[in-house]
């Protein structure tokens, strides 16, 4: 079964919009795990506009499933990850002013940089994953960095699927096959939803984990958080 890791950034955005501690991220993480989520994902950014660095510290002893910390590996982020020692760190090349992640790594251009950072995390027994587009050259470049996994950036798939173009899955299928052949695990995330997740899972082999936040929280407004988590689990089984 492909694992579901729930990204709780949007819950932090809601909390920060009003101040105080509602919703409580620690309670939310516990509840998501109780509902069946197999991981919790956070993506702290330098301006801390949603997940704060202190949230990561507070969540570290609370999360009992896989804790996945995403972000651009600037020095402050690296220090945070080494302090928290999560199950997985996902490296994302997002600019400080980006609203959300919008591109994968150029794994060829940044090969030495990624290799050094990944080696540091692996010395501390932290599984590494790097965010990549479904480009075979970038997948090959990822393998050369020594990363344990890649996370396929799925925005283009989601847009094509919404338009009825199911051929948009083809680059992801090819990328996953190549990544597996090169010895890397495959994760995926960005704009995956209840509408498109089953088709993606059925057509992308060796898919170990998906990280879903925005759509899952939006769907939960209408359907309820526990119900939505279980709907995803059914589609991923």
**Catalytic residue (one of 33, 50, 151, 190):** 190
- Cis peptide leading into 23, omega within 30 of 0? yes
Residue 124 is among the residues annotated as catalytic for this protein:
no
Residue 50 is among the residues annotated as catalytic for this protein:
no
Rounded to 5°, the CA angle 234-165-91 comes to: 65
Whose CA is closest to 29, among 49, 48, 9, 52? Answer: 9
Residues 6+ apart with CB under 8 A from 221: none
Q: For the chain, list the strands marked E by DSSP.
A: 3-7, 39-42, 66-71, 88-91, 127-132, 149-153, 185-189, 207-212
Residue 43 is among the residues annotated as catalytic for this protein:
yes
**Catalytic residue (one of 33, 50, 70, 151):** 70
Write out the catalytic residue numbers: 43, 70, 190
């Amino acid at each position: 079964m492909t694992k579901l890791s729930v990204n709780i950034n949007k819950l932090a955005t809601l909390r920060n919009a009003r101040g105080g501690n509602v919703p409580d991220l620690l309670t939310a993480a516990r509840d998501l795990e109780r509902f069946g989520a197999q991981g919790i994902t956070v993506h702290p950014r330098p301006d801390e506009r949603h997940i704060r660095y202190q949230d990561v510290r507070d969540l570290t002893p609370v999360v009992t499933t896989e804790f996945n910390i995403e972000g651009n590996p600037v020095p402050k982020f690296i220090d945070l990850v080494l302090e928290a020692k999560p199950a997985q760190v996902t490296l994302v090349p997002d600019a400080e002013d980006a609203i959300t992640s919008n591109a994968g790594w150029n794994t060829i251009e940044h090969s030495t940089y990624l290799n050094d950072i990944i080696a540091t995390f692996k010395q501390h027994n932290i599984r590494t994953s790097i965010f990549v587009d479904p480009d075979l050259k970038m997948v090959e470049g990822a393998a050369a960095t020594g990363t344990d996994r890649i996370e396929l950036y799925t925005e283009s798939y989601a847009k094509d699927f919404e338009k009825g173009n199911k051929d948009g899955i083809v680059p992801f299928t090819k990328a996953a096959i190549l990544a597996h052949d090169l010895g890397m695990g495959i994760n995926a995330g960005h704009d995956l939803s209840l509408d498109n997740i089953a088709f993606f899972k059925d057509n992308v082999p060796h898919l170990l984990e998906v990280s879903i936040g925005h759509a899952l929280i939006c769907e939960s407004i209408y359907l309820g958080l526990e119900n939505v988590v279980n709907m995803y689990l059914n589609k991923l089984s």
